[in-house]
Chains A and B, each alone.
Chain A
Amino acid sequence: GENVEQHPSTLSVQEGDSAVIKCTYSDSASNYFPWYKQELGKRPQLIIDIRSNVGEKKDQRIAVTLNKTAKHFSLHITETQPEDSAVYFCAASIQNNNNDMRFGAGTRLTVKP
């Protein structure tokens, strides 16, 4: 089955700096890669996603890149703000299958003011 690895487990940056979180996946059939943000005690919220026919996607301060050959994808947050502090999870799934997702272990991002 799919195995998703996520690094780093914790990341601390200064407000205004960029943050990068990286994930790798094992199943080459995976074709959908969402990123979730989870604040303490709350549900995971989808923040951005990317499909395997796209190499990069950007939404304001957030961007994701995908390298299908290397089977890795990354989340980039620019101009970080304290409210970006949360746990971020990557995930991988195969659309047109059951769509069930496998999550990475999460990255706790702390943005220091």
Chain B
Amino acid sequence: EPEVTQTPSHQVTQMGQEVILRCVPISNHLYFYWYRQILGQKVEFLVSFYNNEISEKSEIFDDQFSVERPDGSNFTLKIRSTKLEDSAMYFCASSARPLNYGYTFGSGTRLTVV
């Protein structure tokens, strides 16, 4: 079964540093997403991406965040100047259109900002 892969699985970074979280969506999918989950809390929508541009973003996705699809396979989330409260699990997801079977989430990247 096709999978969404994310790297790294765990990243520790100093406050104020930039991090890039990487995702490889399922190859025939057209819609890409980033979600985050603070420990013990709900999954929160960050951003959706289609046709090489952001389709929608939440209030969480402020100027310190950016997304990019630098080539035909990778989808990245950059956090420019990390804050302690950015510590969370970040899930990438992809879907085909029309949506027939729900998202496929990646296994997540646990970001720890110290």
Contact = CB atoms under 8 A, between A and B. Distances in A.
Interface stretch (B12-20, B62-70, B74-82, B105-113): B105-113
Interface residues on A, range: 20 to 34
Interface string A85-113: 00001010101101111111110000000
B72 interface: no
Contacts of A91: 43
Given A44-B91, A44-B105, A98-B31, A103 B43 contact: yes
Given A42-B107, A43-B91, A43-B106, 9 more contacts: A36-B43, A43-B105, A44-B91, A98-B55, A98-B56, A99-B95, A99-B97, A100-B33, A101-B45
Interface string A38-81: 00001111100100000000000000000000000000000000
19 contacts: A32-B99, A42-B107, A43-B107, A44-B105, A45-B105, A46-B102, A46-B103, A49-B101, A89-B43, A93-B99, A95-B99, A99-B95, A99-B99, A101-B45, A102-B45, A103-B42, A103-B45, A105-B41, A106-B41
Contacts of A102: 45
Interface string B33-44: 100000001111
Contacts of B91: 43-44
Nearest to B55: A98
A22 B103 CA distance: 21
Contacts of B98: 95-96
A100 B105 contact: no
Contacts of A98: 31, 48, 50, 55-56
B55 A101 contact: no
A49 B48 contact: no
B15 to A, nearest CB: 24
A103 B108 contact: no
Task: Name the residue among B31, B43, B44, B104 with the largest chain A CB count within 10 angstroms.
Answer: B43
Nearest to A102: B45
A113 to B, nearest CB: 24
B99 A100 contact: no
A7 B23 CA distance: 32
